[in-house]
Amino acid sequence: MNNRSSYHRQLEEVSPLRQRVMGIVFLLFALAIFVFFISGQDLAAKRASFGLTPGGAKPELPPLIVAVQPALYLFAVLCAVAGGVQIARGFKRWTNWILGAVVGFFILAFLTWAAAGKSLNMAGLLSTTLVKAVPLTLGAMSGILCERAGVFNIAIEGMMLSAAMVGCLVGSLAKNVQIGIPNAGLWIGLLAAIGTGALLAVLHGVLSIKYKINQIISGTIINILSTGFTSYISAKFMQPYPELNNPGIFPQWSFPGLSAIPFFGPILFQNTLFVYAMFVFLIVLQVALFKTRWGLRLRSVGEHPKAADTLGINVIRTRYMAVILSGMMAGFAGGYFSLGSVGRFDEVMTAGRGFIALAAMIFGNWMPLGAFGAGLLFGFADALATRLTILQIRIPSEFMLMAPYIATMIVLAGVVGRGQPPAAGGVPYEKE
């Protein structure tokens, strides 16, 4: 029999145009380091001090002192070399990794330059990054659960917001409940938050699976509803009665022993429940999606629902399950805002994080670990934005905050290769 795959030979493996463009991009990074950070600046004697212990943590490490000028030259040369090699023969399939490294060098150069003659708490920055990444990663995982089963979910924002509000309200009401565990009220609040997410997910499911309405519109309905509903309750009850808006906050919990590891210890092992839960969910979801029967079936429903149906997999039920789990995950993320972060509910407190989570999901190519990476990147931009003000760098923090959105648009444009979204995403399943 013919093997037609050999006939389908690729015209070019990596288009030479893209290879050259990438090379030029790398060189531009090198040039940017030189132009913006090195030339015309008085750096010869300057040193940058990077703190390696987050504020107040023990044991304290001596800060890392870097001579600014040599470091900057090093980063510029590394970028330039990468660019040269890329133009000359190309990194082929490693190109995107090298791109990541070059961007990394640029960010390090930027930090070195920003901290020249001053001190920047590196550990604090990373610690903030991790914390900021939590709602984004949780939200992105909510999106992954939904979209891997073929249902778009742009309602992560609304689900998180409603969950934050209900969690806060219930947590406040249950504040004095004593059931033998510490912070019982908070736990009840968190359960309520998860339940709220699930409830909204049921609505999303009914609208988009049963009534087959456009999933974007269904998501929009939930977003509008959530904004209205939470602001309404907040204005009518939570503002006039402050005791309804005071659930307390989940305490930080250090891993005994592990938190004493220098540098990494305080960053990773002195956190609230939400950070640890994020790591657990991350690993569980990554393994479950790709190694278990549950995950195989869920993905098959998102890729080719008809095929799944002919093999006896209940497409509708699987999609409902995925959407509801997605809602629960978003609800948990919502709980983070009111119960894990500030201990109260403010109107529209999610402030678009649900949409950045969506972006992180796309950026991470619908993979939990990828989404976590994207979450860290976006969290870093967020954390850096506030530091810049402190360091009195004359770059408006607003531009820093735009970075995730712009990065997502670049990824969607396919500049760094195409992602592989679930094939049946957005299409309601019809049994004919």
Contact between 153 and another protein per CB under 8 A:
no
Min separation Cβ 292 and another protein, Å: 4
Segment interacting with another protein (CB under 8 A) among 167-175, 233-241, 248-256, 257-265: 233-241
Nearer to another protein, 67 or 401 (CB): 401
Contact between 18 and another protein per CB under 8 A:
no
Q: Which helix (H) or strand (E) holds 286?
A: helix 273-291
Three-class SS of residue 254? strand
Contact between 1 and another protein per CB under 8 A:
yes
- Residue whose C-alpha is closest to residue 162's, from 217, 189, 200, 188: 200
CA-only gyration radius of the chain, Å? 24
At 44, list the tokens: 């010869």
8 Å CB contact between 42 and 77: no
Q: Which residues contact 224 (CB under 8 A, 6 or more apart)?
A: 158
Query: Which listed residue (207, 285, 329, 360) binds another protein by CB under 8 A?
Result: 207
The type of residue at 225 is L
At 373, list the tokens: 């990476």
Query: Which listed residue (154, 174, 374, 381) binds another protein by CB under 8 A?
Result: 154
Q: How far apart are CA 331 and CA 199, in angstroms?
A: 9
Region 269-298 residues binding another protein, contact defined as CB under 8 A: 291-294, 296-297
Query: Which listed residue (98, 131, 308, 321) binds another protein by CB under 8 A?
Result: 308
Q: How do strand 64-67 and strand 119-121 relate by DSSP bridges?
A: unpaired
Nearer to another protein, 130 or 209 (CB): 209
CB atoms near residue 175 (< 10 Å): 18
Contact between 228 and another protein per CB under 8 A:
yes
- Residue whose C-alpha is closest to residue 184's, from 193, 194, 174, 192: 174
Query: Which listed residue (149, 222, 278, 377) binds another protein by CB under 8 A?
Result: 222
Contact between 78 and another protein per CB under 8 A:
no
Query: Which listed residue (65, 177, 283, 406) binds another protein by CB under 8 A?
Result: 406
Contact between 313 and another protein per CB under 8 A:
yes
Torsion of CA 254, 255, 256, 258, to 10 degrees: -120
Segment interacting with another protein (CB under 8 A) among 8-16, 85-93, 163-171, 330-338: 8-16
Q: How many residues sit in the footprint of another protein (CB under 8 A)?
A: 83
Query: Which listed residue (153, 223, 318, 341) binds another protein by CB under 8 A?
Result: 223
Query: Which listed residue (232, 251, 264, 389) binds another protein by CB under 8 A?
Result: 232
Segment interacting with another protein (CB under 8 A) among 36-44, 108-116, 184-192, 310-318: 310-318
Contact between 394 and another protein per CB under 8 A:
no
Contact between 430 and another protein per CB under 8 A:
no
For the chain, the residue count is 432
Contact between 317 and another protein per CB under 8 A:
no
Nearer to another protein, 313 or 391 (CB): 313
Contact between 355 and another protein per CB under 8 A:
yes
Long-range CB contact pairs, 178-185, < 8 A, 24+: 183/248, 183/250, 183/251, 185/247, 185/248
Q: How do strand 119-121 and strand 253-254 relate by DSSP bridges?
A: unpaired
Contact between 390 and another protein per CB under 8 A:
no
Min separation Cβ 213 and another protein, Å: 4
Contact between 17 and another protein per CB under 8 A:
no
8 Å CB contact between 181 and 365: no
Contact between 312 and another protein per CB under 8 A:
yes
Q: How far apart are CA 221 and CA 126, in angstroms?
A: 36
Phi, psi of 50 (to 5 degrees): -105, 115
Q: How do strand 47-51 and strand 64-67 relate by DSSP bridges?
A: antiparallel
Contact between 417 and another protein per CB under 8 A:
no
Contact between 359 and another protein per CB under 8 A:
yes
Contact between 384 and another protein per CB under 8 A:
no
Query: Which listed residue (229, 269, 336, 337) binds another protein by CB under 8 A?
Result: 229
Contact between 215 and another protein per CB under 8 A:
yes
Min separation Cβ 288 and another protein, Å: 8
Q: How do strand 253-254 and strand 270-271 relate by DSSP bridges?
A: antiparallel
